[in-house]
Amino acid sequence: MQANSARVVDEWLPVKDWSTEAVEEWHADAPVPYCWTYHSVPGAGDWVGTSRCSCSLCVFASRHDVLLSIGRRPRLADLYTEVQQVRGDSFRADWRITIWSGTPRPVECATPA
């Protein structure tokens, strides 16, 4: 906890400063479940899925995470592509989802129940 005369700041999420390896190691023995999105496919346990847990097709996600999301949710990606084409908008200022239109999906993953 940090404090001064004006405010008190609690450190309530220390894991945000951990490395990915530290999180994996902690989860190996922890009785706490974590989100399946960190796996290549649900239940794989390989930690090669998304680098962070966020919305599907998040504008703040890395390209790897967006490609993985396109493979996991192709209909949503097609909808985003259609919206981009109709409105003339970009998914992000630096690139558009339509660059993957007509190409094989990068990853085919099962949808979790």
**pLDDT in single tens digits along all 113 residues of the chain:** 555 677 877 767 777 788 888 888 888 888 888 888 888 888 888 888 888 888 888 889 888 888 888 888 889 988 988 888 899 888 888 888 876 655 444 444 444 44
> Which of 80-97 are b and which e, b meaning 16 or more Cβ less than 10 Å from the residue's Cβ?
bbeebeeeeeebeeeebb
Indicate the Cα dihedral angle 14, 41, 68, 73, nearest 10°: -110
pLDDT for 105 equals 47
Give me the helices (H) in 1-113, please.
20-29, 63-72, 74-87
Q: What's the pLDDT at 21?
A: 85
Which run of H or of E encompasses 56? Answer: none
Q: What is the pLDDT of residue 113?
A: 40
